[in-house]
Amino acid sequence: MNMGEMNMDQQSREKSDPVALHRQNAARLGPRDVVIAAYPGSGASLISNILIELGFDHVDPYSEVIAEDGRCDVLQEDLAYRSRLSAMAALDRKIRSTGTRPEGQLRFVKNHLHPRFFSPEGLAGAVLLVRDPRDTLHSCYHWYHSFSADRLAQAKGQGTFAEFLDGIALNGEPPVEGWCHFNRAWADALEGFPRSAVIRFEDLKTDPEATTARLVEAFGFERSPESIARATRNSRYENMRAHEEKSLGAGATDRPLVMRRGKVEEWREWWGNAGLAAPFHEPRLVETADRFGYQVTRSDDSTPGH
Q: What is the residue extent of each domain of the chain?
A: 8-294
Which range is least confidently modeled, 16-20, 21-25, 217-221, 280-284? Answer: 16-20
The pLDDT value given to residue 148: 61
pLDDT digits (tens, 9 = 90+) for 133-184: 999 999 999 988 876 645 544 455 467 999 999 998 888 899 999 999 999 9
305: left (phi over 0), alpha (psi -120 to 50) or beta: left
Average pLDDT over every residue of 23-29: 97
pLDDT band at residue 298 using 50, 70 and 90 as cut-offs: low
Which residue type sits at 28?
Answer: R
What's the whole-model pTM score?
0.89
pLDDT digits (tens, 9 = 90+) for 156-169: 546 799 999 999 88
The pLDDT value given to residue 209: 98
Average pLDDT over every residue of 88-112: 92
The pLDDT value given to residue 213: 98
**Above 70 in pLDDT, residue 13?**
no
The pLDDT value given to residue 304: 37
pLDDT band at residue 104 using 50, 70 and 90 as cut-offs: confident
The pLDDT value given to residue 299: 42
**Above 80 in pLDDT, residue 8?**
no
pLDDT digits (tens, 9 = 90+) for 208-245: 999 999 999 999 999 999 999 999 999 999 999 999 98
Residues whose CB falls within 8 Å of the CB of residue 56, separated by 6 or more in sequence, listed in order: 102, 105, 106, 107, 108
**Above 70 in pLDDT, residue 69?**
yes
Domain topology for 8-294: Rossmann fold (3.40.50)
Average pLDDT over every residue of 35-51: 97
Percent of the chain with pLDDT over 90: 72
Most confident of 44-53, 74-83, 241-250: 44-53
